[in-house]
Amino acid sequence: MYKGYKVVDADSHAMEPDDLWERYLDKRYLAHAPKTRRVTLEHPFFMSTEVMGHKWSATYPTTHTPYVEMGKGKRLTYMEAYDRYIRKGFSPEAYLAYMDEAGLDYAVIYPTLCLHTTTVPDMDAKVAAAIKRAYNDWLHDFCNGGKGRIIGVASLDLRDVGLAIKEARRCVKELGFRAVYILPETAVDGQPLDHPVYESLWAEIASLGVPLGTHEAMFHKNGNVGWVGAKQVTNISLKYASTAVTFGLGEMVGGLMFAGAICARHPNLRVLFTESSVGWAATWFPFLDEKWERAKLMGSVVPEHSPSYYFKRQCAISGEPGEVGYSYAFQGGYGDCMMTATDFPHPEVTALPDVLAPFFDGGHARLTPEQLRQVLWENPARMFGLK
C-alpha cells in the first residue's frame, strides 16, 4: 500500500537466470537453446543473447552512468542502486523486498530475456513452443516463492496455433497462471493478428477467463511493425529511437487489430497493452474511429461499433507513474482502462524506492483520489481477479 492506496504494478519483469535452459528446456531441443553471455562477470543479468545465429548486445549503462535518483539529489549507477536486489539474485525475495519498499501490493511479471528468445525468422514452431514451455515452467516455480503477490504472465508463441492453445490451457489449468501474453507481431508473414488462423486461440483465451497481455520486445528480427519500424531508425543518432518505435508503434497497431476487429468477434476476450504510455489511447482511437466511420459510410464491412467502443469495453493499458498521458486518457473517457507499471527492474525505473511519487508530486498526471484508486488498484484488480 502506498499513501493509503492499494497498488498493482501491472508490468514488471523477471530477470531469468543464465541456467534456465539447462534446467528447464526439453532435452530434445537443447541444441536450439538461446545462448547468453553476462555483461560483466559480477552481474549475471542483462545478458547479451544469441538465438539461431542472431545476436543482441545488452547495452544498458549499468556500471558507469549515475542516473538512478535516490532522493535528496543523490544519484547512483544501476549497479549501485540495485545492488541489494542483485545480491539476492533477483529472487522472489528480492522482488518482495522491492515491493515492500515501493508500496506495491502485487506485481505482474513479464520476461526480460524471453521477450525475444523466439523473435527470429525460420525458427521451427516446435522449438519456439519448447522455449516458451521452459520459460513458463521456470516462471511458475519463481512465482511460487512470491507469497501470492507475484503474478506471472505465461508466454505464448504464435507460429503454431494448436501448440499455443495447448500451452495456454496448461498454464492456466495446470500451473494456475492468471494471464498469458503474446508479442503483438505476426509470427508468420501474411498472417496479421486478426487473420482467421488465430480465431481459435482468441476464443480459447477468452474461455479460460484470463486476460491476454501484449508486450513488445526491444530486440527482434521478425514481425510486421516493431521490427520493420526499428529497421527504419537503424544508425540514427537518437539512441532511444529503436525502443520508441518498437514499443510505441507495435502496441498501437496491436490496439488497432484487437479493438478494431478481434474484440468485436470475441466479446469475452480481455486485452492489456503495455510499456507504450497510456496517452496514445486518447489520440489514436479518435483517429481510428473517424476511419471506421468513413469506411462504414462507403459501404465497407466493419464491426458494429467503433474501435474506441471495443477498447473501452474489453481493453486496458499501462503507463509509467505520473505521466501526463493519464490526464489525456481520462479526458477521453478511458478511466476504466488504465493501470500503472514500474517496469522493475529495468532501467526505466529511475527513482528508488519511491517509484510512485510522480502520481503525488503535483506534476503531470494531476489525478483525483478517485482516479488514482482506479489506476492503482480497481482496474488491475478487476483485470487479474485480485481482492
For 125-146, how does the pLDDT look when each residue is reduced to its tens digit (9 = 90+)?
999 999 999 999 999 999 999 9
For 11-58, how does the pLDDT look when each residue is reduced to its tens digit (9 = 90+)?
999 999 888 999 999 999 999 998 876 655 555 555 677 888 777 766
pTM (predicted TM-score): 0.94
Segment 313-329 shows an average pLDDT of 95
pLDDT surpassing 80 at residue 341: yes
* 58, 39 contact by CB (below 8 A): yes
For 45-97, how does the pLDDT look when each residue is reduced to its tens digit (9 = 90+)?
556 778 887 777 665 656 677 877 777 678 888 888 888 998 898 999 999 99
CATH of domain 8-12+97-384: 3.20.20.140
> Hey, what's the cell of 304?
458494429
Domain limits of the chain? 8-12+97-384
For 180-232, how does the pLDDT look when each residue is reduced to its tens digit (9 = 90+)?
999 998 888 889 999 999 999 999 999 999 999 999 987 777 666 666 667 77
Summarize the chain as % helix, strand, coil (round to 5).
45, 15, 45
Report the candidate in 220, 307, 182, 187 with the shortest Cα–Cα distance to residue 255.
Answer: 307
Which pLDDT score is estimated for 58?
62
Which pLDDT score is estimated for 350?
73
Which pLDDT score is estimated for 196?
97
Task: For the chain, give the number of residues.
Answer: 387
Segment 119-127 shows an average pLDDT of 92
> Hey, what's the cell of 290?
473517424
Which pLDDT score is estimated for 247?
86
Q: Which helix (H) or strand (E) holds 10?
A: strand 8-13
Mean pLDDT, the chain, integer:
91
Which pLDDT score is estimated for 59?
57
151 forms beta bridges with 108
Which pLDDT score is estimated for 42?
56
Segment 327-331 shows an average pLDDT of 96
Which pLDDT score is estimated for 63?
64
More confident residue, 144 or 246: 144
- HSE-CB for 19 with a 13 A CA cutoff: 2
